[in-house]
Amino acid sequence: MTLARYYAKQAVKAQYQRQGIRWQHTPGSVLHDATMAYLDRHCEELVALATTSYRSFVESGLLRPERKRRKPNQ
């Protein structure tokens, strides 16, 4: 979900730049709210993109694979 949120934030920043708004001067709460709204609208495609990115990061060696836990999550 972290990667999906990252991609949503990047998309919001790009939208702001296309509109001529400097996202650097936008309050963090406004940017966060816009990011979460974007994530809600595009959740499935962002999660799919994040999943493929994560897998490619693991395959290329940039990230370690998820470790196996002793007890399964409930």
Q: CA-CA distance, 19 to 6, in Å (whole number)?
A: 20
Residue 50, CA distances (Å) to 6, 21, 28, 38, 56 in order: 9, 27, 23, 15, 10
Question: How far apart, in Å, do the first and last CA atoms of the chain sit?
Answer: 19
Domain boundaries, the chain: 2-60
Predicted confidence (pLDDT) per residue in 1-53, tens digit: 789 999 999 999 999 999 999 988 989 999 999 999 999 999 999 999 999 99
How sure is the predictor about 67, in pLDDT bands with cuts at 50, 70 and 90?
A: confident
**Contact, 37 vs 15, CB < 8 A?**
no
